[in-house]
Structure 1
Amino acid sequence: MTTQTLVAADTVDGLLAAAVAARPDAPAVRDAAGSWTYAELDAWSRAYADWFTARGVGRGDRVLARVGNVREFTALLFGALRRGIVFVPVNPAMKRFHLSTVVPDCDPVMLIAQGDEDVDLLRELTDRPVVPLAHARAGAEQQFGGGVHEDISVAPDDLGLLIYTSGSTSAPKAVASPHAPIVFAARAIQARLQYREDDVVLAAVPLSFDYGLYQIFLSVIAGAQLVLTEPDRHVRLLGALHEYGVTVVPLVPSLGEMLLTLARRDRREPPPVRLFTNTGAALTAPVIARLRESFPKAQVSPMFGTTECKRITVLEPDGDLERPGSVGRALDGTEVLVLDDEGRPLPPGTVGEIAVRGPHLMRGYWRAPEQTALRFRPDPATGEVTLHTGDYGHLDADGHLYFEGRRDDLFKRKGVRMGTLEIETAALDIPGVAAAAALAPADGHDLTLHAVTDLTPDAVLAQLAERLEAAKVPAACHVLDALPLTPNGKTDKQRLRREQNAGPVRPD
């Protein structure tokens, strides 16, 4: 094996090269407008790479792409990475408030926008070229098949992605992701989930969200087909599963609830889904049980991760039946610890901060050395870099992790230690409660539950009292038509908190 081959094996563009060599004519990616084989995806990625080069974009430059779940995203991604360009995916749903921070922070030499409104917005925030996606596509078409420009030698340690966190708790910050840890994480996840070459993988979560983005890499490693859908098509989500024969469905809770609602109205045989995965925000046990009822041939694999290392743990499919509440074991070749406030490992069963070590740790935060030093710390004994996640949980004796929540989600009330996740899970066990979010006591407000249900607040609290000890029953319940969501589909608790502080969310 040559040195060049070794390098390619540890770079993201090397993943695509391997897939093309193995299955050039197999379907690679499909969206509402059509599909590409692996050979076609490779050819389009080369065309976009040549277009970047012709425009003077080179190694180490940042390109911000504010486009949705379309095939062009995948070609832009691989086209940039094969030329050593740093790709910065941004959700089209990101508002000006956060974009005004993100754009100057990543300092892109070019921005690609989905539509005219996006172009106008981005041009107000930068003096760099903002290119409509349609123009970028036309530019790539002119380069298609030309092969004028040669690929450069991309190194595993080269920066590949800047992935901005959602900003739900603070201003967005970018996780600097080199090729090597991206590839390691993708391969380690694939080793646990075992996507197959005959799989059809749905990407309904945004590709700008690392959960969606890595579906591209996982599908490429397996040689599977990726089906892309946009948020405005989620009401037809079940139809897409039937139409394309989807076998793998990555879910966040909002998508899971949508799918279950659609399945209740559907009289057809269930689609051929064999695996649901979940991360980003946890599916509760009642939701998982309803998925198994509606899709009896499907297994469920809960996972836990953070953008700073992509994935922390993966539970084997249906492993929750034996270990309810677990989010799995550490990826092979990595280590998960639970630490006390002094950074010392805690014994099994004891709640502490979740920390991570391994080759999947990203480089830190882009141009934010102080924030990087707070989260990526050397172990006091070994000096090995350890990611302190800010999340809390405990390990069992066999190394399976159980997530308890973030620091703000864990609290004592009336002398009893508890977490919001436990309260939300109990609320979702109540027939008629479709979604729930609990807010810990803060800012003069006691423990509060927000629920999507036709039940009265008193009825919800009364049924919670049958499921939880008295100290864990919220002081108040607000009934909503829907929970507010972040662009990545997580419950927007910051918005709920702001509305709570401003006054009642809605008269009960």
Structure 2
Amino acid sequence: MKPYLLQHFLENSAARYPDKIALKHKDRVLTYAELLQKAKNLGQGLRQKGVLRGDRVGIYLDKSLEQVIAIFGALYADAVFVIISSVLHAKQARHIIDDCGVKLLITEEKYLENLGGIAAPKIYGAELSKILETTGNPAPRNIGEDIANIIYTSGSTGLPKGIVLTHRNLIEGAEIVSAYLKITADEKILGLLPFNFDYGLNQLTTSIYKGATLVLFQYFLPNSLLKILADEEITALAAIPPIWTSVFGGKMADTAELDLPKLRYITNSGGKLPVPIVQKIRAAFPQTDLYLMYGLTEAFRSTYLDPREIDRRPESIGKAIPNVEVEIINADGQLCRPREIGELIHRGACLARGYWNDPQKTAEVYRPNPLLPRDNQFLETVVYSGDLAYRDEEGYLYFVGRRDNMIKTAGYRVSPTEVEEMILQMPEIKDAVVFGAADTELGYKICAVVTLKTKISAEKIKEHCQAAAPPYLTPREIFIADSFPLTASGKIDRPQVIKEHQVK
């Protein structure tokens, strides 16, 4: 029977490969049979603690074997797992717990202080260890349309918002990504990204689905990443732009081909990868397939660029993933012509249910399909991404920027992404964030905040922009920062960067 609950992936792989290592973290491992039994034990224990079908179970743990057990344990209790990143501030963690009404929290003793005032019961330490060793075999009653996970993503207000994912969402995502990445049971996948990030969670779901081995790893420094790739003979690596920038900054920027013969494929998502970084990855890993992917948590994954096209069109986000259709529409809801910029909409598989506790925001993003006849548009919901893009004559897609981030300056509409990519062409620049600030003469003026690989002045950066593009694209204000704050998923916290550098 086709899996319809996420834990069916675990059951199927445990039946095929009971003694195979499913998870490795430092010097600890779990086989598929062990992972399955501990997940069932925890599921039974959660039920005995009063967790009912549809209740939310918070998981406030560091990346560990126990974090994965907790995910599947919650599912065996017919509950919804909610991962609370350990890098969040106490206010943000408490907001998540309160917003989704966590019934029970699985945590560590060191986080109890952050949870002051939280009424939900907590299990940790010796009690958790005892539950994991108490044999259980709960029989789930959920169906594929039931909620499996609420992922909290950073919001412009600073408080995360919850996106609701069903079992079917997670299963579709794992099956589709596994198909185009050609993942097999022989894979050793590096679990580099956090599981509170849909892209990171997908490394777990695809690995369990295919019976592969997932090696959990917390990123610190570029050398530590390269070492684990070699030591563990990793075949699959997924990362996001800030990690690639860190790896290929400084001395790594000019490193020749790296000797990692087992590394079969690399993926990027969570933000557009600047072309200079794409070129450096290709130079360092010439025998490794590089997949440039685009997605949004509201629909998980929308597009990928075939590795065979990388060198010809490194700035493209590719074409729609299997079982998904992506269109570009104008303000009137009509299809855009080739090269015409419009909003990207996503239809087909992987659409999340919406935003937890926020019907208004859900209605803004999850809308009737504008491409159906007017009287029947209500029959299908599509996701309006809020991202501006265009399609070329061959059908390849190109990301332009966020619809609500466009800067209107001196009568021109400017994408921050366009200016950022121009600045990132400079070898001295590590990262860049561009935004608009109110200006009496221009309407809005372009401002840039940069971090550096090597020393350079703001004036030199302006000179580069003036030589590379029309005057209206040159930032009027350039700030040099030591580093950028990051979100819980490891992305640059753009709202915080902008807030810290708003021109008075």
Instruction: Report if TM-score (shorter chain) is over 0.5.
Output: yes
1:422 aligns with 2:418: yes
2:280 paired with 1:310 = no
Give deviations 1:141-160, integer Å, cap 9, x for gaps: 331xx23x432232111110
Alignment of 1:153-232 (within 5 A): 153-168=141-156, 171-232=159-220
Aligned to 1:278: 268
Structure 1 pair 265/138, CA: closer, same or farther in 2 (3 Å)? farther
> Structure 1, residues 340-367: CA drift from partner, whole Å, max 9, x if none?
2232222222111111111311111112
- Aligned partner of residue 190 in structure 2, secondary structure: strand
Q: How does 1:34-433 map to 2 (within 5 A)?
A: 34-116=28-110, 118-124=111-117, 126-132=118-124, 134-135=125-126, 137-143=128-134, 146-147=135-136, 149-168=137-156, 171-232=159-220, 236-261=224-249, 263=252, 270-271=259-260, 272-380=262-370, 381=373, 382-383=377-378, 384-433=380-429
Q: Is the 8 A contact 2:405 2:416 kept in 1?
A: yes
Distance 1:172 1:195 in 2: 32
Distance in structure 2 (CA, Å) of the matches to 1:274 and 1:425: 28
Is the contact made by 1:62 and 1:109 (CA closer than 8 Å) also made in structure 2?
A: yes
CA contact (8 A) 2:164 2:353 kept: yes
Q: Which amino acid letter does the alignment assign opposite residue 486 of structure 1?
A: T
Alpha-carbon shift at residue 494 of structure 1 (Å):
1.2
Between 1:65-74 and 1:255-264, the stretch displaced more is 255-264
Q: How many residues align?
A: 491
Equivalent-residue separation in structure 2 for 1:502 and 1:127 (angstroms): 42
Deviations 1:440-459 (CA, angstroms, capped at 9, x unpaired) = 34477621122222111111
The reply on whether 1:24 has 2:18 as its aligned counterpart is: yes
Is 2:436 aligned against 1:435? no
Unaligned runs of 5+ in 1: 504-508
Distance 1:324 1:265, change over 3 A: closer
TM-score w.r.t. the length of structure 2 is: 0.91
* Residue identity opposite 2:309 in structure 1: G
- Preserved CA contact (<8 Å) 2:162 2:355: yes
Task: Describe the SS at the equivalent of 1:59.
Answer: coil
> Relative to structure 1, is the Cα distance of residues 88 and 179 closer, same or farther in structure 2, using a 3 angstrom cutoff?
same
Alpha-carbon distance in 2 for matches of 1:258, 1:227: 21
Aligned twin of 1:471: 472
Question: Alpha carbons of 1:90 and 1:105: their partners in 2 closer, same or farther (altered >3 Å)?
Answer: same
> SS where residue 178 of structure 2 aligns?
helix
Does the aligned pair in 2 maintain the 1:72–1:137 contact within 8 Å? no
SS of equivalent to 1:109: strand
- 5 Å-filtered alignment, 1:483-494, equals 483-494=484-495
Letter paired with 1:21: A
Residue identity matched to 2:132: E
Q: What is the Cα deviation at residue 263 of structure 1?
A: 4.5
Distance 1:166 1:204 in 2: 19
Residues in 2 aligned to 1:247 and 1:137: alpha-carbon distance in whole angstroms: 33
Rounded to whole Å, the distance in 2 between the matches of 1:424 and 1:164 is: 27
TM superposition shift of 1:411: 3.0
Distance 1:442 1:92 in 2: 36
Distance in 2 separating the partners of 1:332 and 1:484: 35
For residues 67 and 474 of structure 1, what CA distance do their matches in structure 2 show?
Answer: 42
Could you say what secondary structure the match of 1:343 adopts? coil
Equivalent residue of 1:491, what SS? coil
The more displaced of 314-323 and 257-266 is 257-266
Q: Name the CA shift for 1:288/1:435 in 2 (closer, same or farther; >3 Å).
A: same
Q: Provide the rounded CA distance (Å) in 2 between the counterparts of 1:128 and 1:347.
A: 53
CA 317–374 in structure 1, closer or farther in 2 if over 3 Å, else same = same
Shift of residue 502 of structure 1? 6.5
Question: How far apart are the structure 2 equivalents of 1:212 and 1:114?
Answer: 21
Per-residue deviation, 1:306: 1.0
Matched, 1:451 2:450: yes
C-alpha distance in structure 2 between counterparts of 1:162 and 1:141, whole Å? 24
**AA partner of residue 46 (structure 2):** F
* Aligned-pair CA distance for 1:311: 0.8
CA drift of 1:226 comes to 1.0
Equivalent-residue separation in structure 2 for 1:472 and 1:224 (angstroms): 47
Q: Which moved more, 1:374-383 or 1:228-237?
A: 228-237
The residue identity in structure 2 corresponding to 1:270 is D
Letter in 2 for 1:428: L
CA RMSD of aligned residues (A): 2.3
Q: Which residue of 2 aligns with 1:506?
A: none
Distance across 2 between alignment mates of 1:372 and 1:441: 29
Rounded to whole Å, the distance in 1 between the matches of 2:115 and 2:37 is 29
The Cα shift of 1:123 comes to 3.4
- Residue 345 to residue 170, structure 1, CA distance change in 2 (3 Å): farther
Q: Which moved more, 1:376-385 or 1:419-428?
A: 376-385
Give the C-alpha shift of residue 211 in structure 1.
1.1
Give the aligned residue type for 1:358: G
Query: What fraction of aligned residue pairs are identical, expressed as a percent?
Result: 28
Go from structure 1 to structure 2 and tell me whether the alpha carbon gap of 1:377 and 1:184 turns closer, same or farther (over 3 Å shift).
Answer: same
Superposed CA offset, 1:186-219 (max 9, x none): 2112211122322221122211111111110111
Distance 1:432 1:78 in 2: 45
Q: Structure 1 residues 260 and 61, CA, compared in 2 at 3 Å: closer, same or farther?
A: same
SS in 2 for 1:249: strand
| 1:414-443 CA-partner distances (Å, limit 9, x unpaired) | 343331112111211112212222123447
Seen in structure 2, the aligned counterparts of structure 1 residues 485 and 470 have a Cα distance that, compared at 3 Å, is same
Is residue 189–residue 314 contact of structure 1 (8 Å, CA) maintained in 2? no
